[in-house]
Structure 1
Amino acid sequence: MTTVVNTPEKEYKLSELIEYYEVCNRAEGKSPKTISWYSANLKSLHNYVKSRQLPYSLDTIYTKLLREYVLYLMRRTRYSGHPYTPAKIELLSSATIHGHVRTLRAFFNWLVEEGLAQNNPAKDLKTPKVSRKVVSTLSDEEIGAILNTFSTSPSHARNQTLFMILLDTGLRIGEIVNLKMDDVHTDEGYLKVMGKGKKERIVPIGNNAQRVLQRYLFRFRPKPNNPVTNNVFLSTSSQPLTENSMKLMFTRLRKRSGVYRLHAHLCRHTFATRFLINGGDVFSLQQILGHSTLEMVRHYVNLASSHIAIQHQKFSPLDRLNLKK
């Protein structure tokens, strides 16, 4: 069964509209990751509509149906129906469902703007509340345990450099693997980073991270197979490092260090929280992290406040006096 859209000129299959939406997103310069995310979410909707064996007309996709779809997502487990990854016991997170709803709003709004649909059934669709959990950042002991896993081999020297830069700058995985040689300015103490939305920014880098980066570049970075390759971080086969390679590196680090909650984004959380605890201001942090608004930075402020409260419990002057009534 194929779901279609009815317009005065032509009937369009839902799958055709999803493909056309992807083309328009590419033409607008959206990142491949964003485009892939939209397409995967819309394919999920398409599969749900097919499973309901509804009539071909998209007129049957109304707000009530989309709300039922959201309820379906709330009962769905992680990786359910994934071609490669086995399904998990855990349900989809509220943040994932929130992303699906945002996709529906954007897609149906685009259909109306393009004249491919007369109304937007997702316009009044409410997004579920996203639970905000306090992230426990890496402790000094955990950072030490991770650093102790590295040897002096070329691949370990590269991985140590990657870990230390992530921890010292708060870069995203995609930003560090795409870092180019021309972007490294260790003499001036900064990196030039291309972030989300193709927005370039300056990110400071500390002395220790500079030192390991210079050591990697001078002693361990292999000569690229392709002369035009300008990436800072290369694989053992002299190819540009990929995001999947980074994820595999962190999987191995978890096992070797015993820090089983470690993942690349935890380095970003740790950097942001410690930056604020050590006296950094939220506006500088916003620029360093590449956030367009202060909304996400406020989350790190809460993390820092929670950490300071815990530290106060440990070192409260009155509590340490063991005063009695």
Structure 2
Amino acid sequence: MIKPLPDGRWHVDIEPVKGQRHRKTLATKAEAKRFESLMRVKYLKNPEWNQSAKDKRHLEDLINRWFLLHGQTLSDGLRRKQSMLGVCSRLGNPVAARLSGQVYTEFRSNALSAGSAGKTLNNQLGYLRAMYNELARLGEITYPNPLSSVRMLKLQERELSYLTTEQIPQLFKSIRNTCELPHAELVAIICLSTGCRWGEARSLTPDRVKSGQVTFVNTKSKRARSVPISKELSARIHRHFNAYGLFTRCEPAFDKALKRSGIKLPRGQSTHVLRHTFASHFMMNGGNILTLQKILGHATVTMTMRYAHLAPDHLREAIGLGPLTGNVLADIFSTD
């Protein structure tokens, strides 16, 4: 830290490494800055104090350490670990402290050329950066995050698909004709009724369906949330549990029924289209964006805003508040 003194001089107080503090008062600010830079360079060049030079652990070691200290507490921690280990292997498992932004961007460029999806590469970069940051927070590493300067790829936002009012009965007809087990149909109904994720619906138990609402736990955000449902749906869920027991893994049955229905969806969307369908129809029917955020369980409204353009008021404003309104538009048309 550099700060001015009442007598016009400048005081430097820096701690390049923990436990090594230096203070000095100099005549000018420029001299103070030079002293600060000199001391930082001195420690960077000295292997006794340069922690990145001393830390010889490879990236795989850090990934495993991160998972032990933090990753296993995350709902998707194991998936993140496997994703990072895949990147680690393709990078040749370098010394973690020596990984640089240049090395990583070259790897990413080659991965893009080989056909890797941009979103996948952004996810991997996010996981690795978060890993370094978390280990630094825990005091496990003392050097700067080597990937902090690497920017995410700018991707074209993917259009959210949803089922129309004509496609919904088409899908359920296919489910009834395709699925041998009864679970897929009711899980799909719960998703369409509450906007929940498929896994959240499938993990429901009888004690979480009561008082006119369902309560989802073990969610992606780690926060339990409750969503109201109709009496008819509540009764049907309990009848189902009494007759067939808890839901079992039925995603493959849904995927098969979706394929047979003839409904075409963008790549990577299957059960998640039910959540998009709830959110899209909620907004098209005049729902409030903040209410939708709570129903979906989004930590911030940013993610929920993807559905805002479907609101009727939003569409009306596009027509009524744009520059081509009233007499202006009439004048333009009159010149045809």
Q: TM-score, normalised by structure 2?
A: 0.69
2:70 is aligned with 1:25? yes
Give the match's secondary structure for 1:138: coil
User: Following TM superposition, by how much is the alpha carbon of 1:115 offset from its aligned partner in structure 2, in angstroms?
Assistant: 4.2
User: Following TM superposition, by how much is the alpha carbon of 1:7 offset from its aligned partner in structure 2, in angstroms?
Assistant: 5.3
1:317 maps to none
Using the alignment, how far apart are the partners of 1:305 and 1:72 within structure 2? 44
2:109 is aligned with 1:71? yes
Using the alignment, how far apart are the partners of 2:57 and 2:82 within structure 1? 19
User: Following TM superposition, by how much is the alpha carbon of 1:116 offset from its aligned partner in structure 2, in angstroms?
Assistant: 2.5
Using the alignment, how far apart are the partners of 1:307 and 1:134 within structure 2? 17
Residues 153, 109 of structure 1: alpha-carbon distance in 2 compared, 3 angstrom cutoff: closer
Residues 130, 272 of structure 1: alpha-carbon distance in 2 compared, 3 angstrom cutoff: same
Contact 1:149 1:256 in 2 (8 A): yes
Structure 2, unaligned runs of 5 or more = 1-50, 320-333
Give the match's secondary structure for 2:227: strand
2:82 is aligned with 1:40? yes
Contact 2:279 2:307 in 1 (8 A): yes
Please identify the structure whose Cα radius of gyration is greater.
Answer: 2
1:182 is matched by which residue type in structure 2? D
Give the match's secondary structure for 1:116: coil
1:299 maps to 306
Give the stretch that moved more between structures: 122-131 or 38-47.
Answer: 38-47
1:176-230 CA distance string (max 9 Å, x none): 1221211011xx3210111223211111223553354244234x324xxxxxxxx
Q: 1:210 aligns with which of 221, 225, 234?
A: 234
Contact 2:52 2:98 in 1 (8 A): no
1:104 is matched by which residue type in structure 2? L
Using the alignment, how far apart are the partners of 2:178 and 2:126 within structure 1? 45
Q: Within 5 A, what are the aligned runs for 1:225-236?
A: 232-233=246-247
Residues 172, 155 of structure 1: alpha-carbon distance in 2 compared, 3 angstrom cutoff: same
Using the alignment, how far apart are the partners of 1:100 and 1:153 within structure 2? 37
Q: Percent identity?
A: 24
1:246-303 CA distance string (max 9 Å, x none): 2x02221123322242611000000001111122211111111000100111001124
1:254 maps to 258
- Paired residue total: 265
Using the alignment, how far apart are the partners of 1:207 and 1:96 within structure 2? 41
1:112-166 CA distance string (max 9 Å, x none): 3324252211111111123212223101221111122344999554322111111
Q: TM-score, normalised by structure 1?
A: 0.71
2:215 maps to 192
Structure 1, unaligned runs of 5 or more = 1-5, 78-90, 223-231, 234-240, 313-323
Contact 1:134 1:303 in 2 (8 A): no
Q: 2:287 aligns with which of 273, 277, 280?
A: 280
Using the alignment, how far apart are the partners of 2:71 and 2:132 within structure 1? 18
Q: 1:158 aligns with which of 160, 164, 183?
A: 183
Using the alignment, how far apart are the partners of 2:167 and 2:102 within structure 1? 48
1:175 maps to 200
2:40 maps to none
Residues 256, 59 of structure 1: alpha-carbon distance in 2 compared, 3 angstrom cutoff: closer
